[in-house]
C-alpha cells in the first residue's frame, strides 16, 4: 500500500491519507465570515481526496487579519459561516482543520493583486499594527509598529482561547497556531523583530514565552481528543535571526506544554535571507526529519512537495508524517486522485464521493474522454480521419 495514502491517527482524529491542503490567504471574506467562495474552495478539495483541509489563517482579532478581506473567528457571529464549510468537508470524507493566528506588523494590507502595500493606521481599511518591539519589518511594511505591553500580550492569549472555543462550535477538529512567516508569533521568536528586555525577550526562553503561553491558553479549552499543532518559523536564514538549533529546543518545550505536531516553515522576519531556497524541491525536509528524530514529535511541512513520487517517498522514509500542499491544491482540486493514479493506487477513484466514483469506474465511453489523463496519448488526427 502507498505510504502517502495510508491512514494517519493523531490523538482521537484519523485522516484517510497523509495529504493536507495548506492554509492560504484568499482575501474573500466579508467581516471575517466564510461565504460561498469558501464553501466551494474547501468542499471541492475535500471531495477531491485531501485528508485534511484548512481554510486560510483565521484571525483571532480584527487587527490580526492581513487585510479587511481575511477570515476571522473573533466574533460569535462568524461561527455559523465556518460551520457551513466544516459540515461539507466532513460530508466529503476529510477532516476540517483551522489555523489561528495574528499577522502582527505584517497586517493592514491591500490585496496583493491590487498592489499589496501596507495601509496607514488612519485609512478606513487599515489599523495600527503591533509587534514585540517598535520595529517595522521594512520594505512595503513602513508604518510605525506599536510595541505590545504585557497586558496586551495577555489579552491576545485570551483571544487565542476565545477563538479556539469558537472553532469547536464551528466544527473544526484539528487546530494549528501560526507562528511563522513574519507574523506576530514569528516576530516574538526572532531577535530580528524582538528587542524586548522583559520576560518576553532576550534569551531563547524569553522569546519562546509568547508561544508557550498561547499553547497553554488554547490547550485549556481545546478538546484533548483533537490535535493541537503549530506552524513554526524555525529558521530566519539570517545570522542575526532564529537558528534551527534554537527551534529544536523550543519545540521540545512546546511538546511539554501539550503540542502534538510541529508544522515547520521559515521565519521570514526579514527579506535579507541567505541562500533563498524557494525554488528548491523539499527544502524543509532535512529540518523536518531532524526535528522528528530529535524531539520525538510528529512533523509536517510544505514548500515544493507537489510531485507525487516525492510526497510518497518522504512519508515512506519517515521524514514527515503529513504533507502540506498549497499551490498544488489550488491548481488541481483533485491532486490526491491524480497522485493516486501516478503511484498506481489500486482504486484512485475511492478518494472521491461514491456517487462520483461509480460513474468514473463504470464509464460507458472512450476511456480517454472522461478527463482522466491516459498514459498512452490518443492520436486525435487519426481518430478524426476515422470518423470522416
Maximal C-alpha separation, the chain: 82
pLDDT score at 383: 56
Assign 273 a pLDDT band (cuts: 50, 70, 90): confident
pLDDT of 386 over the 90 cut:
no
User: Structural domain tally of the chain?
Assistant: 1
pLDDT score at 375: 62
Q: What is the DSSP string of 60-112?
A: SSGGGSSSTTS-B-SSGGGHHHHHHHHHHHHHTT-EEEEEEE--GGG-SB--G
Mean pLDDT of the chain: 93
Assign 380 a pLDDT band (cuts: 50, 70, 90): low
Is 15 within a domain? yes
pLDDT score at 333: 95
Task: Count helices and strands (H / E) in the chain.
Answer: 12, 13
pLDDT score at 360: 86
The stretch 41-70 carries a mean pLDDT of 97
Is 203 within a domain? yes
> Burial code of 329-358, b = ≥16 C-beta within 10 A, e = fewer?
beebbbbbbbbbbbbebeebbbbbeeeebe
Look at 89 and 377; give whichever has higher pLDDT. 89
pLDDT score at 61: 98
pLDDT score at 384: 53
Is 382 within a domain? no
Is 198 within a domain? yes
pLDDT of 244 over the 70 cut:
yes
From residue 124, how far is each of 127, 143, 339 by CA, in Å? 8, 15, 45
Is 183 designated active site? yes
Query: What's 33's DSSP letter?
Result: B
Ramachandran region of residue 296, left (φ > 0), alpha (ψ -120 to 50) or beta?
left
| Residue 179 domain boundaries | 8-351
Is 280 within a domain? yes
Is 373 within a domain? no
pLDDT of 179 over the 60 cut:
yes
pLDDT score at 388: 55
pLDDT score at 59: 98
pLDDT score at 280: 87
Tens digits of residue pLDDT in 300-341? 999 999 999 999 999 999 999 999 999 999 999 999 999 998
The stretch 345-367 carries a mean pLDDT of 85
* Catalytic residue (choose from 8, 141, 183, 210): 183
Tens digits of residue pLDDT in 180-209? 999 999 999 999 999 999 999 999 999 999
Beta pairing, strands 52-53 & 228-233: unpaired
Q: Kindly report the CATH number assigned to the domain that includes residue 42.
A: 3.20.20.70
> Residues near 313 by Cβ (< 8 Å), separated by ≥ 6?
none
Assign 297 a pLDDT band (cuts: 50, 70, 90): very high
pLDDT score at 376: 65
All three cell numbers of 273, joined, read 535571507
Is 362 within a domain? no
Amino acid at each position: 500500500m502507498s505510504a502517502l495514502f495510508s491512514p494517519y491517527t493523531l490523538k482521537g482524529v484519523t485522516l484517510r491519507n497523509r495529504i493536507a491542503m495548506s492554509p492560504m490567504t484568499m482575501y474573500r471574506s466579508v467581516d471575517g465570515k466564510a461565504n460561498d467562495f469558501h464553501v466551494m474552495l474547501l468542499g471541492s478539495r475535500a471531495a477531491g481526496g485531501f485528508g485534511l483541509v484548512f481554510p486560510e489563517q483565521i484571525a483571532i482579532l480584527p487587527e490580526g487579519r492581513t487585510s479587511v478581506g481575511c477570515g476571522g473567528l473573533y466574533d460569535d457571529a462568524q461561527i455559523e459561516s465556518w460551520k457551513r464549510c466544516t459540515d461539507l468537508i466532513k460530508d466529503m470524507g476529510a477532516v476540517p482543520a483551522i489555523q489561528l493566528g495574528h499577522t502582527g506588523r505584517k497586517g493592514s494590507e491591500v490585496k496583493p493583486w491590487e498592489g499589496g502595500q501596507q495601509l496607514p493606521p488612519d485609512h478606513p481599511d487599515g489599523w495600527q499594527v503591533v509587534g514585540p518591539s517598535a520595529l517595522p519589518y521594512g520594505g512595503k511594511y513602513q508604518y510605525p509598529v506599536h510595541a505590545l505591553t504585557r497586558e496586551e500580550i495577555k489579552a491576545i492569549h485570551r483571544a487565542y482561547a476565545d477563538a479556539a472555543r469558537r472553532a469547536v462550535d464551528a466544527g473544526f477538529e484539528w487546530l494549528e497556531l501560526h507562528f511563522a512567516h513574519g507574523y506576530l508569533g514569528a516576530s516574538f521568536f526572532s531577535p530580528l523583530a524582538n528587542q524586548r528586555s522583559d520576560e518576553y525577550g532576550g534569551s531563547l526562553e524569553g522569546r519562546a514565552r509568547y508561544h508557550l503561553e498561547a499553547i497553554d491558553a488554547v490547550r485549556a479549552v481545546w478538546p484533548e481528543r483533537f490535535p493541537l499543532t503549530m506552524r513554526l518559523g524555525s529558521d530566519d536564514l539570517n545570522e542575526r535571526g532564529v537558528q534551527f538549533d534554537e527551534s529544536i529546543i523550543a519545540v521540545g518545550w512546546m511538546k511539554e506544554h501539550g503540542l502534538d505536531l510541529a508544522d515547520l516553515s521559515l521565519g521570514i522576519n526579514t527579506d535579507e535571507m541567505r541562500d533563498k531556497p524557494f525554488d528548491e524541491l523539499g527544502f524543509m525536509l532535512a529540518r523536518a526529519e531532524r526535528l522528528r528524530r530529535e524531539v520525538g514529535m510528529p512533523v509536517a511541512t510544505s514548500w515544493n512537495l507537489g510531485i507525487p513520487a516525492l510526497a510518497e517517498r518522504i512519508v515512506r522514509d519517515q521524514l514527515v508524517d503529513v504533507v502540506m500542499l498549497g499551490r498544488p491544491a489550488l491548481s488541481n482540486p483533485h491532486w490526491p486522485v491524480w497522485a493516486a493514479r501516478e503511484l498506481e493506487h489500486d482504486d484512485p477513484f475511492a478518494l472521491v464521493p461514491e456517487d462520483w466514483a461509480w460513474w468514473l469506474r463504470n464509464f460507458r465511453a472512450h476511456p480517454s474522454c472522461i478527463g482522466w489523463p491516459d498514459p498512452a496519448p490518443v492520436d486525435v488526427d487519426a481518430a478524426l480521419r476515422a470518423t470522416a
